[in-house]
Amino acid sequence: MDHVVIRIGPYPLANKVILAPMAGVTDLPFRQLCRKLGAGLVVSEMVTSDVRLWNSRKSRNRLDHTGEQEPRSVQIAGGDPQMMAQAARMNEQLGAQIIDINMGCPAKKVCNKAAGSALMRDERLVADILAAVVEAVNLPVTLKIRTGWCDEQRNGLTIARIAEESGIQALAVHGRTRNQLYTGHAEYDTIAEIKQQVGIPVFANGDIDSPHKARAVLEHTGADAVMIGRAAQGRPWIFNEINHFLAHGELLEPPTLHWQRSTLLEHLDALHGFYGDHQGVRIARKHVGWYLQTLPGADDFRRSFNRVECPSQQRQNIENFFTRLLEGDLAA
């Protein structure tokens, strides 16, 4: 693959593999781990544009960028241009360096509030929101969309042109319509068409779950980078795997159980430290489930692990589980 450096405003990206923003997943501990394991850019969880809600614990955690590597990209969501502009300005004051606008989330609670991918039905409102946010901040603004609302209204190309005209500096496209949610298969022809028609960087997203798939999607679409979402859950080393394959055309050796254990424990400690004992224990459960889902004995372990209420006991249980794996006590 070529070595053209992708830029978002003044910020060069380290490589062509980006962590997608995912609500409830891409918190600060996970973003930092993915950067360490090869992500060229990470994007925060979606933050509501209603700044009146920012005093909630959930919003405060999502706005925390302590110790985060540059560039710090924050995703905002909402359907009112002035509220979105205000949210962008406040995020700029809080240390954001890139503002990402969410028009890609298909979740009902987002779409029913005329935000996320619901906005794609109203092209004039899209233009108003993009113009308001770009005008509001002295930062590069990026946009995440889907290919359209439904098969009959696959207007991703129109939205992409509006985005470029509005001053958006990079565009991520998920290869599904809003009505598909996460079912079926992503299609990449629309992303290829968008890439041919706009001059800003385009990031391909959707079902990219292996180094081979990443290379195939880059070749098919001509996209500047791939964006990895669900495939990074429990497998944050996928970024290094894809980078290595794109650079050398060969696969890295799979991570050893020793290495997986140390990575998981590092992530666990970071979650406990960031959220505190009570919340950290609960949030750790889903991440641990993702890490272990392909390992023998994982289902039984997860059932007992999810009843543990103490951070040190969580850690001990994971160490014991991997010890049994390494000693061959758990059969595949």
CA distances from residue 277 to 272, 312, 328 in whole angstroms, order as listed:
6, 9, 32
**In a 3-state reduction of DSSP, which class is residue 166?**
helix
Pairing of strands 141-148, 17-19: unpaired
Please pick, among 34, 105, 150, 310, the residue that the annotation labels catalytic. Answer: 105
**In a 3-state reduction of DSSP, which class is residue 93?**
helix
In the residue annotation, 105 being an active-site residue is answered as yes
Output the six-digit token pair for 40.
């060229």
- Compute the Cα dihedral for 291, 25, 206, 202 and give only its sign: negative
**In a 3-state reduction of DSSP, which class is residue 102?**
strand
Pairing of strands 170-177, 98-103: unpaired
**In a 3-state reduction of DSSP, which class is residue 101?**
strand
- 258 CB-near residues (< 8 Å, 6+ apart): 322, 326
Residues belonging to the active site: 105
